[in-house]
């Protein structure tokens, strides 16, 4: 019988600067050019985002000045490694493991460029074993939290006596571009926060089973979500049609994934989804036929931390562990346009 990987431990971390949404609103009103942008018409986005606070690796005053791509990526490297180390040490303490017990590292991020990759930087910082193998994953955006966890599960299943350290970090706030007056940048300013998570995956030990995983990439959808590289950083791409796509297409993709593993939606007792934003959560509940307000964990994470891209689903999962019983379906959407799915069975 093929061994099933288990979630042996999970920890999260956020940077030190807490941004209250009211302070972000006041700053945005001052920073955006009212004549060149749609800021006045779109101020409701901040109020309706379902967010009360977020965390940033730089103080709010940092956004007052223009910053180039080189500076932003330097900050990304510094703070991403700091957050990953913090989360990794917490999960090792939680599981009673040491750095010598880690056989492989999977590191996920899409908000900065790292070569050497983040896994190598963390290895150097923490003194992880020099024969530990590494898998950096870039470009999956918000879907990276689920798909990266799936990659770690697949690797653990292939080597059932080994333990995989799964790392995910996103510093979304560094992508703010003061010169960009577009609707997408204004929406990003209303939603994005910074965060990181670490998990240990292995087939030996207790914890929930990662029972199945998969994904679906829709055709002719490359322009739905992503980044464009500009001189002053990463320019966000958001389609206004994302909630509509969720309502019309996500259920069919989820049902096909579950069917491949002998499951139906009726077999799922809890839906843990990357929240994205308030409109996306509402669309997710509608797509899965849930009563409005059912996705409590997603709403709580969005309210307290904002949209941390790939890291967000790990915060949602952390809140659900021990609090939500039964078989769980994790899902997240990202560039491609891609849906990632993972089934978690109670341990």
Residues tagged active-site: 142
Measured in whole angstroms, the distance separating CA 281 from the mean position of its chain's CA atoms is 15
Strands 328-334 and 270-273: parallel
SS3 content of the chain, % helix, strand, coil (to 5): 45, 25, 30
Measured in whole angstroms, the distance separating CA 271 from the mean position of its chain's CA atoms is 16
Rounded to whole angstroms, the Cα distance separating 72 from 111 reads: 10
Rounded to whole angstroms, the Cα distance separating 278 from 292 reads: 11
Asked if residues 85 and 126 have their Cβ atoms less than 8 Å apart, the reply is yes
Maximum distance among all Cα pairs of the chain, rounded to whole angstroms: 65
The string over 222-240, giving b where at least 16 C-beta atoms fall within 10 Å of a residue's C-beta and e elsewhere, is: eebbbbeeeebbbbbbbee
CA atoms within 13 A on the CB side of 233: 26
Instruction: Please give the full DSSP string across 91-122, using - where no structure is assigned.
Output: HHHHHT--GGG--EEEEEE-SS--SS-HHHHH
Rounded to whole angstroms, the Cα distance separating 345 from 325 reads: 9
């Amino acid at each position: 019988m093929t061994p099933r990987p288990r979630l042996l431990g999970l920890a999260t971390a956020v940077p030190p600067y807490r941004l209250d949404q009211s302070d972000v609103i006041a700053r945005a009103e001052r920073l955006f050019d009212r004549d060149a942008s749609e800021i006045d018409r779109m101020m409701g986005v901040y109020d309706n985002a379902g967010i009360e606070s977020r965390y940033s690796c730089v103080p709010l005053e940092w956004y007052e000045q223009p910053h180039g791509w080189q500076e932003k990526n330097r900050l990304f490297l510094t703070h991403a490694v700091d957050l990953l180390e913090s989360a990794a040490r917490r999960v090792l303490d939680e599981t009673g493991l040491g750095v010598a017990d880690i056989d492989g590292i999977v590191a996920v991020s899409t908000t900065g460029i790292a070569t050497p990759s983040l896994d190598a930087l963390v290895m150097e910082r923490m003194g992880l074993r020099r024969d530990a193998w590494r898998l950096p994953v870039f470009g999956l955006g918000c879907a990276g939290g689920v798909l990266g966890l799936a990659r770690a599960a697949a690797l653990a299943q292939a080597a059932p006596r080994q333990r995989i350290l799964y790392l995910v970090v996103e510093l979304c706030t560094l992508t703010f571009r003061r010169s960009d007056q577009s609707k997408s940048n204004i929406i990003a300013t209303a939603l994005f926060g910074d965060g990181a998570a670490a998990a240990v995956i292995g087939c030996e030990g207790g914890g929930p089973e990662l029972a199945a995983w998969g994904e679906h990439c829709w055709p002719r959808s490359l322009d739905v979500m992503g980044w464009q590289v500009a001189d002053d950083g990463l320019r966000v791409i958001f389609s206004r049609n994302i909630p509509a796509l969720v309502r019309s297409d996500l259920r069919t993709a989820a049902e096909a994934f579950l069917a491949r593993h002998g499951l139906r939606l009726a077999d799922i007792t809890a839906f843990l989804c990357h929240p994205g934003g308030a409109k996306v959560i509402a669309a997710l509940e509608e797509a899965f036929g849930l009563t409005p307000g059912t996705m409590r964990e997603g709403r709580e994470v969005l309210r307290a931390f904002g949209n941390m891209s790939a890291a967000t689903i790990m915060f949602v999962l952390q809140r659900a562990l021990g609090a939500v019983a039964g078989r769980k379906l994790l899902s997240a959407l990202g560039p491609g346009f891609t849906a990632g799915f993972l089934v978690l069975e109670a341990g």
